[in-house]
Amino acid sequence: MNILVDLFVTFAKVGVMTFGGGYAMLPILQREVVDNKGWATEEELMDYFAIGQCTPGIIAVNTATFIGQKCRGTIGGILATLGVVFPSLIIISLLAGVITAFSHLAWVRHAFGGIRICVCVLILNAVVKLYKKAVVDKATLAIFVVVALGSYFSALSPVVFVLLAAAMGIALQVRR
Amino acid sequence: MLYLRLFWEFFKTGLFAVGGGMATIPFLYDMAAATGWFTGDDVANMIAVGESTPGPIGVNMATYVGYLTGQGEGGLAGALLGAVIATVGLVTPSILVILIIAAFLKSFRDSRYVQNAFYGLRPASAGLISAAGLSVAISNLFFPDVLAQGFQLAALNWKGWILAAVLWVLTNKVKKTKGLHPILFILAAAVVGVLWSM
């Protein structure tokens, strides 16, 4: 099979099997990309994943672009990425149509009422996990508090906070 | 033009959301406020749908937003076009950034500036998601229209508080359930919501 087609199909498979966030994807990538296809070594995959976490964008997409790029350059990177998002496009489009069609029913609205409560708890859990990794001293605590309050009480775009925080990170460390 | 704006909004999200799918939530809230394409409640629904379907959650949310926004503009064809455009908008910055980084992988990883920037970015990302989470919590654990007339007990969604407390214990404290996939808790919450008319 043409390797470009193979990249698309393999990453579409990874996309279907990834449930939830980027972390759920790692064992699947290990099996498909390292063991089955040999497109990257275990170490390379860990490197891509680590960089994928700390570059802008979705971790799964970043990792796919890396591996595709390594195999077949720019076109490979683009096709691997299109592969990883392809299942989402199909599944969500089907589902969104169904949800919109039934959203006027009382029991559907009640179900989503319950679901949104669950989402609150899931976000709280995600924040607690992130907080433990990110807030390591007084300076990071200050950034966390200022950004949380600033973002909640102002209409400023998150972009502003992201840029300021990156600049603060560099300024604080340089002074040391 | 709507589709161009859709692309641009998700391009921004893809470029500035650092730290995976959950990091896109503050951008979706900002988008809801700035464009009026959907409401805060819709965002919470999207998170649930994105979390319960195959595929990376950030991509799922982009597809869902694009679909709903496009649907308002041009029916089914508009919806499908919107889904594709939002998703492509979200991944375009990733592709550009990663292709550039791949060219000088090692020096990027070892750069002190990059590491220092992340020292500031990580707590900021946690802060942004907290603020978005607070918005979700206030509009679902209280009745916003009653709350608008001043704080009072009637504004409290007590069923919501009870369900939230139970779910928190199940996802954090009970050994047998805390490792389970979020989709199971979302399904359970949907059932409780129907039975309890939430």
User: Is there a contact between B83 and A92 if contact means CB atoms under 8 Å apart?
Assistant: yes
Q: Over the stretch B96-136, which tens digit does the pLDDT of each residue have?
A: 999 988 887 767 767 888 888 888 888 998 898 898 889 88
CA B61 to chain centre: 7
Question: Does residue B115 share a domain with residue B173?
Answer: no
**A123: nearest Cα among B76, B171, B10:** B171
User: Is there a contact between B91 and A61 if contact means CB atoms under 8 Å apart?
Assistant: yes
Is B191 touching A (CB cutoff 8 A)? yes
Q: Does ipTM exceed 0.90?
A: no
User: Is there a contact between B30 and A66 if contact means CB atoms under 8 Å apart?
Assistant: no
For residue A19, the 8-state DSSP code is E
Question: Does residue B151 share a domain with residue B124?
Answer: no
Residue of B nearest to A141 (CA): B123
3 state SS of B80: helix
Strand intervals (E) in B49-140 = 55-56
Cβ contacts (< 8 Å) between B168 and chain A: which residues? 121, 124-125
Question: Does residue B129 share a domain with residue B41?
Answer: yes
User: Is there a contact between B193 and A110 if contact means CB atoms under 8 Å apart?
Assistant: yes
CA B1 to chain A, closest CA, distance in angstroms equals 21
Cα–Cα dist B122/B22, whole Å? 13
Look at residue A1 in the predicted model and tell me its pLDDT: 66
Among the partner residues A144, A162, A170, nearest to B18 by beta-carbon distance: A162
Q: Over the stretch B178-193, which tens digit does the pLDDT of each residue have?
A: 888 788 898 999 999 9
User: Is there a contact between A100 and B27 if contact means CB atoms under 8 Å apart?
Assistant: no
Look at residue B149 in the predicted model and tell me its pLDDT: 84
**A11: nearest Cα among B95, B51, B20, B139:** B95
Among the partner residues B59, B101, B194, nearest to A110 by beta-carbon distance: B194
Question: Does residue B175 share a domain with residue B129?
Answer: no
Look at residue B57 in the predicted model and tell me its pLDDT: 84
Q: Over the stretch A85-114, which tens digit does the pLDDT of each residue have?
A: 999 999 999 988 888 888 888 998 899 899
**Residue B156 class from Cβ within 10 Å (0-12 exposed, 13-18 middle, 19+ buried)?**
middle
- Domain end, chosen from B118, B141, B164, is at B141
Look at residue A82 in the predicted model and tell me its pLDDT: 96
- Flag whether pLDDT at A115 surpasses 80: yes
| Domain spans, chain A | 3-102, 106-175
Cα–Cα dist B85/A134, whole Å? 33
Task: Report the 10 Å Cβ neighbour count for B106.
Answer: 8
**Residue B112 class from Cβ within 10 Å (0-12 exposed, 13-18 middle, 19+ buried)?**
exposed
Question: Does residue B167 share a domain with residue B74?
Answer: no
User: Is there a contact between B18 and A120 if contact means CB atoms under 8 Å apart?
Assistant: no
Look at residue A42 in the predicted model and tell me its pLDDT: 84
Domain count, chain B: 2
- Flag whether pLDDT at A176 surpasses 60: no
Among the partner residues A60, A99, A110, nearest to B197 by beta-carbon distance: A110
What share of chain B in percent tops pLDDT 90? 44
Question: Does residue B176 share a domain with residue B104?
Answer: no
Q: Which domain holds residue B83?
A: 2-141
Strand partners, B60: none
What's this model's pTM, rounded to 2 decimal places? Answer: 0.83
Look at residue A30 in the predicted model and tell me its pLDDT: 85
Question: Does residue B134 share a domain with residue B162?
Answer: no
Q: Over the stretch A23-77, which tens digit does the pLDDT of each residue have?
A: 667 778 888 899 999 998 888 888 887 777 778 888 888 989 999 999 999 999 9
**B169: nearest Cα among B188, B154, B196:** B188
- Flag whether pLDDT at B174 surpasses 90: yes
Question: Does residue B99 share a domain with residue B32?
Answer: yes
Read off the pLDDT of each residue in B31-54 and give the average, rounded to a whole number: 87
Question: Does residue B116 share a domain with residue B176?
Answer: no
Look at residue B3 in the predicted model and tell me its pLDDT: 95
